[in-house]
Structure 1
Amino acid sequence: MSSEKQGAADNKVGGGLLRSSLVVGVMTMLSRVLGLVRDVVIAVYFGSQAEADAFFVAFKIPNFLRRLFAEGAFSQAFVPVLSEYRTKRPHEVVQELVNRVAGTLGLTLAIVTSLAMLTAPWLILVFAPGFHGEPAKLELAGNILQITFPYLLLISLTAFSGSILNSYSKFAVPAFTPVLLNLSLIGSTLLLTPYFDEPVMALAWGVVIAGTSQLLLQIPFLKQIQLLPKPMWGWKDPGVRRILKLMAPAMFGVSVAQINLLLDTVLASFLQTGSISWLYYSDRLMELPLGIFGIAIATVILPSLSRQHAGEDPKAFSATLDWAVRLVLLIGIPAGIALFLLAEPLIATLFFHGRMEDRDVIMAAMSLRAYSAGLMFFMLIKVLAPGYFARQDTKTPVKIAMFAMISNMGFNLALVWSFQHAGLAMATSLSAALNAGFLLWGLVRAGVFKVQSGWGLYGTRLLLANVAMGGVLVWLSHSTQTWLDWSLLQRVEHLVILIVAGLGAYGAILFAAGLRPRHLRH
């Protein structure tokens, strides 16, 4: 079968973008829900104490690099090139590209991982310099990092495998894979902590177990599409060199939000104990809608945009971007409002157990509100950046990203002293707004993104629905102290009532204003 016919068949099987987005969204929702369960378990066992701060920093380093290289720069550089090969070249050539990318990526990451494990204590000081004055916390974080850093190698190869599957419209397995990380960390916390002098070390080994299982899960499905990699060194291969050339600027263009969050951690390490954990817990809640919807939409549209660009179909390219932006606003605006209005109820219900104290709930809610202001912009970045990467344009987004990062540093320094950890979160949201704004402006100016008809009516519907939802949530709200005084069962019951009432009001107004499911299809 020719690559063109194969692509058409895969597209038919994969269905429309909305259906594919729902598949990814459902799998991601399962992962995020389990992620919240994981964080609840960690909060019960470790709270916001020094050992929790040490683990979060040590895990953030390989996790940050994973998002930067594997899910960020690598995926955005690899998928467009793979899609072009798949569209224009025979399967044998695609297989050779996969083999050489696998070998080059694997060996490079193995070297990086080995060096990082040898220099773990110094890396901790780079990413959390505030630990210098706390020798015990610094030593513990260094020991954890030596165990967790191989996760970068394992999960990067997993992301490589997932990118291949996504390019062939096999979205479910890569989206399900993160579930294994959450299950592993939950199991390690519950089952392995009694076997360690430092109980938090169980989490470190849980990370390694997760990385291994995530990679192994991909293998049968790669065999199914006849693209199981046979690693070969390919530094001089033209396809590999194109991917590497696209990767360097893409590291900034896609992952600026992660860099900003990492800068938050660096500055938070100088603040009072608990600041890193408060930012972590609030970021996890913000990541729930971002992962379920923003990343799901971005995952689905990148292969589609890449094929449309390779097939020289600018009208379809623009229509796909327009559809993605509409869907992001439909979900991102109400999600941000809900996180802002329900900050204390969410934190109290999910994390107010064990060693978590009243003050931790209030402090984490402060940073959650600050992050919620930027949620829509984080989601827009996810769907606008592929508009550049699908066209193999990495220079423009890197310029925008560098400006956003510099702005974030300025916002951090301006806000951290007065607002502490919440100021760091707000700085990240402000820089995300700048990033998304310039990405959109660049696409419109280049004529790549042309606004489709119907935006006036669509915007009116969204405005009315969000006002109604916000009013219902405010009307049904209780004081923070009431939430803290309630039992867990009472908190769960009232949170469910708030969520159902808010969603009901939002959906009812949209329906009354004339929005139907057919309007969301693409």
Structure 2
Amino acid sequence: MSLIRNVGTIGGLTLVSRVFGFARDMLLARLLGAGTGADAFFVAFKLPNIFRRLFAEGAFSAAFVPMFSKELESGGGRDAAVRFSVQVLSVFLPILFFFTAIAEIFMPWIVDAMASAYREVPGKFELTVTLSRITFVYLLLISLVSLLAGILNSLSRFAEAAAAPVLLNICLITAVILFGSTGPDPDFTTARALAVAVSVAGILQFVWLLFAVRRAGIELKLLPPRMTPQVKRLLRIILPATFGAGIYQISQLVDVFFATRLQEGAMSFLNYADRLNQLPLGVIGIALGTAILPALSRLIGRDDAAGAQRLMSKALELSMMLTIPSAVGLMLCRDALTRAFFLGGRFDAADAAITADVMAGLAIGLPAYVLIKVFTPGYFARGDTKTPVYTALAALVVNIALILLLIERFDIVGLVLASAAAAWLNTLLLYAGLHRRGQYHLTGLVALRIGKQALAAALMAVPLWFLSGWLAPYFGGAPLDRVWSIATLIVPVIPVYFGALWIIGGLDPESISALRRRGSP
């Protein structure tokens, strides 16, 4: 299948998941606001999600997908690939059980390391520990899901794995509707229902992908764990990749560590703002990174350096064509979006204003976050999991230094500005490594097109700025006012951007045709 079709499949289903996520957080904002229950749940939800991103979007996929693809292309074919998958499953399942059990036992100490400041609020620390123990079961399940997703992605069956996160948001929305409380203790009742729903969602996602793998003609079974040569090689690849992805997750933990020491609701502000930021990041960045890794692995396996260069250039053009206007839109529409989606119930105008400022800071780093997803497969597809470790470590050091410099003056906004700056540094280092080795270089033509995309986004910003001012009284009004005002704000500027992009030549039509062509890697 073509890259653009694969990206469209993954991105489209991710968009559906993000829409459900919006609905979930809109309900949460009204029931929990930005108080004790919301903060406790978001910390508890962060724990398994940090490891989910490490496995599903980081180390495991980076190591497993190229090896599975190689087995698939070898003389053993599908049988060899299935045998490799069974060996991996049989070794990793006991490890996951052990790790989950240890985490459950030591959960108070884990939460204390992340959010010790919660001890200062009566009941908040204890609630966070309880919720974290419930949600951490999700880690075991989602790690198995990542194995199944890796198999499906290697077979170019992207739809089932991309649809799995929808189940999570459906479970959370159902929990809020059925068990959410506005009674005397809404924080505990609603937050506990959400935590249980997270683990239930893990079960549903596992069953969904298990059936998908069977439909693909692959039967997995458990065998006694055995350290075969392939499993040993996977571990040799995955350990540095885990450390590299772990550095990024440590960066996330650093953000949590500092956020929990700020004012009440800081974790909630971060979550609600990131919900809007994750829409383009998930639809564009994660979709592209997932789609190009197996394609790039095949090209590199055939020693097609020119094809790998073309593929990454096309991915770069496509990602920036969509990400640059998204970042501009999020910055200019930050007040409109936060008020329209979240204002109401226990989430007041002051909460919306802080969330808007946080979202603007996140939007500054959005193109960098997406570019990291584009550049990193250039290393993983070549079996190089060490270089991303070094770049991520450098970014982490800079991130912490900038937080210490900015947080006192800019509070929570300083936190996200530091993260954005560190992401840009990571992007530059990743590109420099590829360029230095002759594995990828940004051509003048691609750079010119990206510059034109930025110009088209600037032209789009003019009507967007005027419309946001004119429609401001309606963004926090009745539900119908919010719907039509947001639609009036966004819909007219889309043709402005793409029209300007077409006129000034911001994207090569031949590149789009090549991406859509069947048989392209």
1:64 aligns with 2:35: no
1:131 aligns with 2:118: yes
317-326 or 455-464: which moved more? 455-464
1:507 aligns with 2:504: no
The residue aligned with 2:156 is 169
- Give the Cα separation in 2 of the matches to 1:436 and 1:176: 28
3-state SS in 2 of match to 1:189: helix
Whether the aligned pair in 2 keeps the contact of 1:257 and 1:432 (CA below 8 Å) is no
Q: Counterparts in 2 of 1:392-431, with a 5 A limit?
A: 392-431=383-422
The residue aligned with 2:127 is 140
- Give the Cα separation in 2 of the matches to 1:463 and 1:66: 33
Computed over aligned residues only, the root mean square deviation of the Cα atoms, in angstroms, reads 1.9
417-426 or 112-121: which moved more? 112-121
Per the normalisation by structure 1, the TM-score is 0.93
The residue aligned with 2:304 is 313
- Give the Cα separation in 1 of the matches to 2:59 and 2:484: 42
Q: 1:519 to 1:309 in 2, by over 3 A?
A: closer
Structure 1 stretches of at least 4 aligned residues deviating more than 6 Å after TM superposition: none
- Give the Cα separation in 1 of the matches to 2:491 and 2:248: 30
The residue aligned with 1:17 is 3
- Give the Cα separation in 1 of the matches to 2:253 and 2:337: 24
The residue aligned with 1:4 is none
1:78 aligns with 2:64: yes
Whether the aligned pair in 1 keeps the contact of 2:273 and 2:355 (CA below 8 Å) is yes
Q: 1:240 to 1:199 in 2, by over 3 A?
A: same
1:273 aligns with 2:273: no
Residue deviations 1:185-217 (CA, integer Å, cap 9, x gap): 000111123599633210011101100000000
Residue deviations 1:268-327 (CA, integer Å, cap 9, x gap): 111110111001111111111000111001110000111112222111111111111111
Q: Counterparts in 2 of 1:399-478, with a 5 A limit?
A: 399-452=390-443, 454-455=445-446, 457-478=448-469
138-147 or 507-516: which moved more? 507-516
Deviation at 1:88, TM superposition (A): 1.7
3-state SS in 1 of match to 2:219: coil
- Give the Cα separation in 2 of the matches to 1:445 and 1:468: 35
Deviation at 1:408, TM superposition (A): 0.6
Percent of aligned pairs with the same residue? Answer: 36
Q: 1:303 to 1:106 in 2, by over 3 A?
A: same
Whether the aligned pair in 1 keeps the contact of 2:336 and 2:472 (CA below 8 Å) is no
Q: 1:257 to 1:376 in 2, by over 3 A?
A: farther
Q: 1:283 to 1:257 in 2, by over 3 A?
A: farther
Equivalent of 2:171 in 152, 172, 184: 184
3-state SS in 2 of match to 1:323: helix
1:244 aligns with 2:231: no
Deviation at 1:227, TM superposition (A): 2.2
- Give the Cα separation in 1 of the matches to 2:480 and 2:508: 36
Amino acid across the alignment from 1:70: A
Q: 1:483 to 1:267 in 2, by over 3 A?
A: farther
Amino acid across the alignment from 2:368: F
Equivalent of 1:284 in 275, 284, 288: 275
Whether the aligned pair in 1 keeps the contact of 2:134 and 2:199 (CA below 8 Å) is yes
Whether the aligned pair in 2 keeps the contact of 1:117 and 1:146 (CA below 8 Å) is yes
- Give the Cα separation in 1 of the matches to 2:49 and 2:447: 41
- Give the Cα separation in 1 of the matches to 2:326 and 2:420: 15
Amino acid across the alignment from 1:212: I
Equivalent of 1:160 in 147, 152, 175: 147
Unaligned residue ranges in structure 1 (runs of 5+): 1-14
340-349 or 186-195: which moved more? 186-195
Whether the aligned pair in 2 keeps the contact of 1:319 and 1:452 (CA below 8 Å) is no
3-state SS in 2 of match to 1:477: helix
Whether the aligned pair in 2 keeps the contact of 1:162 and 1:218 (CA below 8 Å) is yes
Deviation at 1:235, TM superposition (A): 4.9
- Give the Cα separation in 1 of the matches to 2:376 and 2:223: 30
363-372 or 63-72: which moved more? 63-72
- Give the Cα separation in 1 of the matches to 2:451 and 2:413: 32
1:107 aligns with 2:77: no
Amino acid across the alignment from 1:75: S
3-state SS in 2 of match to 1:459: helix
Deviation at 1:229, TM superposition (A): 1.9
Whether the aligned pair in 2 keeps the contact of 1:50 and 1:137 (CA below 8 Å) is yes
3-state SS in 2 of match to 1:198: helix
Deviation at 1:135, TM superposition (A): 4.3
3-state SS in 1 of match to 2:221: coil
Q: 1:429 to 1:72 in 2, by over 3 A?
A: same
- Give the Cα separation in 2 of the matches to 1:72 and 1:45: 34
Deviation at 1:234, TM superposition (A): 4.2
Equivalent of 1:216 in 207, 217, 238: 207
- Give the Cα separation in 1 of the matches to 2:96 and 2:59: 14
- Give the Cα separation in 1 of the matches to 2:379 and 2:256: 29
Whether the aligned pair in 1 keeps the contact of 2:339 and 2:476 (CA below 8 Å) is no
Equivalent of 1:519 in 495, 511, 521: 511
Deviation at 1:257, TM superposition (A): 4.5
Amino acid across the alignment from 2:138: Y
Q: Counterparts in 2 of 1:378-389, with a 5 A limit?
A: 378-389=369-380
Whether the aligned pair in 2 keeps the contact of 1:67 and 1:255 (CA below 8 Å) is no
Amino acid across the alignment from 2:511: H
Residue deviations 1:70-110 (CA, integer Å, cap 9, x gap): 33111111111111111124122211110011122211111
3-state SS in 2 of match to 1:373: helix
Whether the aligned pair in 2 keeps the contact of 1:388 and 1:394 (CA below 8 Å) is yes
Q: 1:41 to 1:232 in 2, by over 3 A?
A: same
- Give the Cα separation in 2 of the matches to 1:475 and 1:516: 30
- Give the Cα separation in 2 of the matches to 1:169 and 1:69: 19
- Give the Cα separation in 1 of the matches to 2:470 and 2:227: 63
Whether the aligned pair in 1 keeps the contact of 2:116 and 2:125 (CA below 8 Å) is no
Whether the aligned pair in 1 keeps the contact of 2:314 and 2:511 (CA below 8 Å) is no
Deviation at 1:128, TM superposition (A): 1.3
